[in-house]
Structure 1
Amino acid sequence: MYQEERLVSIMDFLQKHNRISVEQICTIFDVSRDTARRDLVRLEEDKAIVRTRGGAILPSVHDEVKSYSKRLNFVTEEKQVIGIKAASLIYPGDRVILDASTTVQACAEQIKNMDCTIITNSINQAEVLSSNQEINIQLLGGTLQQEHRFLYGSTVIEKLSDYHVDKVFIGVVGISEKGLTIAHEEDGLVKRKMIQQSKQVIVLADHTKLGHTDFFRFADLQDVDLLITDQTPSKEFRELLYKNNVELLTADLEEGDE
């Protein structure tokens, strides 16, 4: 077998098993240890692997976090039905915090025009709600993160300390045994304070976020009261929620057709 053929087969093995040892390469392809090492050196030069002591693993892959406007172009039907379900939990007289995520914006778009108070650090959420004359909107002032369209910083966190609300709706990049995670620390610090100021913490996350862990942890699972998602999670994930006293609410896709 030529080296190029071996390299393809080694990558196929890694895709299935995540790691491979020099001994495994020798056994599978009937080659010497020197040949196996040369194969790994070649793959490393091509940035296809990360060499470890005695073998190799696949490099970590980090999903690009698209800008807010680009993410809005990919607001899925799943997010829309989650938003409908979440909005149905807001009642007249409620005092509510909405964070700056596209899934929470799907909730904002469904909130009825009623006498309630909405606090947010998202210029998009404030704009969406501005046509509802009955809603009292409190936009938190701070430093504008232009690409992702949220306000952050010490002034936002200090102002949040003055509010005590009934519910907070939080979006995440990942929710797992590691807790609630997000891509940007400055966003996560604001979300953390929002959670501290609310009686009920409601997380909105479509099925792709479940079991995923991103860069910055801003809360633990035990901080969450309710998770709204679009598909029934795996048994293992449901057990994780139960262990942390998180209530689960699954939105019905048919609701989005009403």
Structure 2
Amino acid sequence: MSKAERHDRIVAELRAAPAMRVSDLAERLGVSRETIRRDLAELDQKGLISRTYGGAVSPITYEPALAERQALMVEERERIAEAAVALVGRNDILMIGGGATTLHFARRLATEPLPLTVITHAFSIAMTLSANPLIKVLMLPGLYDGREGLIHGADTLDALNRFRANRAFLGASGLTEEGPNDAGIAPAAVYGAMMRRAAATCVLADHSKFERPSLTVYGPWSRLTTLVTDQTPRGALAAALARADVQVIVAGSGAPGVSRA
């Protein structure tokens, strides 16, 4: 069994039994306890499990603040952003949700000579895009969340219901069979509204989010959804994407691979 297969098995075991000891995992996988400890350390660093004294638990995702997340998965997010920009056309109307990966996307988008209209609730994204005089930025009203640097609430949702967009670009705390999900209830409500008000949705998320449950599922997978990521999904997530006829774009070092999941 390779390390990648072992990691997949550990995550699967923790989905079935939310807490397990190192000794139990070592016995089930037929490897030493020291090997399991190294595996758990790597999986914990990726956010796929949470280490405990003598074992691990499967977390319901809690995300660190935006400023902390910016330092994680930088190369993967940059590749995702580059692939996602290729989906944008001249004079498009876009909705962009807050988050670390969507901020990478906004930075890349700001370098393009494209006239666009962008509707967002994230100050960092509005400031980044406003540097390009070809991009008109509409900032949504509402309550300010200083931890995430974004707006949410009833006024935000009411304003969104007055707009339509060609495409929504949204991040996610996790990707599960049910759909993309987020650690925050209020931001998730905004992302769900953006999904409904856009003709199509593009979810930008790296592989560390695969099969990672979070608090709120903000929308279902559908044929109107495109997932832009850095690795090909596998297992139950891949099957769910295939059933929903989701387009999956895997951003690599060369041209991104595109498939129907």
User: Could you say which TM-score interval applies, normalised by the shorter chain?
Assistant: 0.7 to 0.9
Q: Give the Cα–Cα distance (whole angstroms) in 1 for the partners of residues 161 and 27 of structure 2.
A: 48
Task: Indicate if the aligned counterparts of 2:80 and 2:228 stay in contact, CA closer than 8 A.
Answer: yes
Q: Give 1:11 shift.
A: 3.4
Report the count of equivalent residues: 212
Q: 2:90 aligns with which of 89, 92, 97?
A: 92
Q: Would you say 1:14 and 2:12 are equivalent positions?
A: no
Structure 2 partner of 1:132: 132
Q: Give 1:14 shift.
A: 3.4
Q: Give the Cα–Cα distance (whole angstroms) in 2 for the partners of residues 123 and 100 of structure 1.
A: 8
SS for the counterpart of 1:214 is coil
Deviations 1:188-216 (A, max 9, x none): 00111001100011111101111111111
Task: Indicate if the aligned counterparts of 2:63 and 2:173 stay in contact, CA closer than 8 A.
Answer: no
Q: Give the Cα–Cα distance (whole angstroms) in 2 for the partners of residues 220 and 58 of structure 1.
A: 29
Sequence identity (%): 21
Structure 2 partner of 1:71: 69
Measured on the aligned residues, the alpha-carbon RMSD in Å equals 2.4
Cα distance, 1:17–1:205 mapped onto 2, change above 3 Å: farther
Task: Indicate if the aligned counterparts of 1:14 and 1:58 stay in contact, CA closer than 8 A.
Answer: no
Deviations 1:159-204 (A, max 9, x none): 0001011000010011111322111100100111001100011111
Taking structure 2 as the reference length, what is the TM-score of the superposition?
0.74
SS for the counterpart of 1:74 is coil
One-letter amino acid of the counterpart of residue 230, structure 2: D
Q: Would you say 1:217 and 2:217 are equivalent positions?
A: yes
Cα distance, 1:72–1:12 mapped onto 2, change above 3 Å: closer
Structure 1 partner of 2:145: 145
Q: Give the Cα–Cα distance (whole angstroms) in 1 for the partners of residues 150 and 60 of structure 2.
A: 22
Task: Indicate if the aligned counterparts of 1:230 and 1:253 stay in contact, CA closer than 8 A.
Answer: no
Q: Give the 5 Å matches for 1:181-196.
A: 181-196=181-196
One-letter amino acid of the counterpart of residue 197, structure 1: R
Cα distance, 1:17–1:99 mapped onto 2, change above 3 Å: farther
Structure 1 partner of 2:14: none
SS for the counterpart of 2:227 is strand
Task: Indicate if the aligned counterparts of 1:94 and 1:117 stay in contact, CA closer than 8 A.
Answer: yes
SS for the counterpart of 1:109 is helix
Structure 2 partner of 1:227: 227
Larger radius of gyration: 1
Cα distance, 1:188–1:64 mapped onto 2, change above 3 Å: closer
Cα distance, 1:131–1:75 mapped onto 2, change above 3 Å: farther
Q: Give 1:224 shift.
A: 5.1
Runs of 4+ off more than 6 Å = none
Q: Would you say 1:251 and 2:218 are equivalent positions?
A: no
Taking structure 1 as the reference length, what is the TM-score of the superposition?
0.75
SS for the counterpart of 2:222 is helix
Structure 1 partner of 2:172: 172
Structure 1 partner of 2:107: 109
SS for the counterpart of 2:232 is coil
Q: Which runs of 5+ in 2 are unaligned?
A: 1-19, 29-51, 257-261
One-letter amino acid of the counterpart of residue 135, structure 1: I
Task: Indicate if the aligned counterparts of 1:178 and 1:213 stay in contact, CA closer than 8 A.
Answer: no
